[in-house]
A and B are shown apart, each in its own frame.
Chain A
Amino acid sequence: QKEVEQDPGPLSVPEGAIVSLNCTYSNSAFQYFMWYRQYSRKGPELLMYTYSSGNKEDGRFTAQVDKSSKYISLFIRDSQPSDSATYLCAMTADSSYKLIFGSGTRLLVRP
């Protein structure tokens, strides 16, 4: 079993929809949680960075972490066609340099 599980999708939604992406993990040592967006033939770019449990909001994006359930989510409000990409969750422990990634969810936002 992988340390981090993520539904590969693809997830297809109409423009303006609220999108929910999520990951589950098994290692209770993980404390730092990230969401990356990756466009085709590009490297991942950091969208959200959170520590421990709770919510963090940045514009149309909200990241949630529930450490008790080992479950993290990314919500995208008012989704746009430009949000069409692969979204990767990643996480790491306090003293670690190594990011552990989910396999990514492909999102398609239809105009």
Chain B
Amino acid sequence: GAGVSQSPSNKVTEKGKDVELRCDPISGHTALYWYRQSLGQGLEFLIYFQGNSAPDKSGLPSDRFSAERTGGSVSTLTIQRTQQEDSAVYLCASSLVSRQGQGYTFGSGTRLTVV
């Protein structure tokens, strides 16, 4: 597609439930990133994919968070046993090259609210 597509745009879930967030990057972009933006905060790096591999998962906050990417395209971020502190906007970005910050395009994000 023309841009990075994320779904759902909004998600309200009960504490303790699992959620899946989806990212569909720009076609041909081999690099994909997940960031988290909490209220009034800047973007916090979560994970980086190059193709289907995730060489850097260092930003994932706990083992309740996992992500995968299939076919070098769509990525899913899964949060198990959600907690209230997981409430945030989860942003996905993709790029052709994965250094120097070049060519990042962000999606509009998934706004997650844990009640």
Contact = CB atoms under 8 A, between A and B. Distances in A.
A88 B42 contact: yes
A101 B48 contact: no
Interface in A1-59: 4, 6, 8, 31-32, 34, 41-46, 49, 51
Contacts of A46: 104-105
Contacts of A98: 45, 48, 56
Interface of B: 4, 31, 33, 35, 40-45, 48, 56, 91, 93, 98-102, 104-109, 111
A95 B105 CA distance: 19
A41 to B, nearest CB: 7
B42 A92 contact: no
A32 B101 contact: yes
B41 A103 contact: yes
Contacts of B102: 32, 49
User: Size range of the interface on A?
Assistant: 20 to 34
A94 B98 CA distance: 11
A90 B101 CA distance: 9
30 contacts: A6-B42, A32-B101, A32-B102, A34-B101, A41-B108, A41-B109, A41-B111, A42-B108, A43-B4, A43-B93, A43-B106, A43-B107, A44-B43, A44-B106, A46-B105, A49-B102, A88-B42, A90-B101, A91-B101, A92-B99, A94-B99, A94-B100, A95-B99, A97-B31, A97-B48, A98-B56, A99-B43, A100-B45, A101-B43, A104-B41
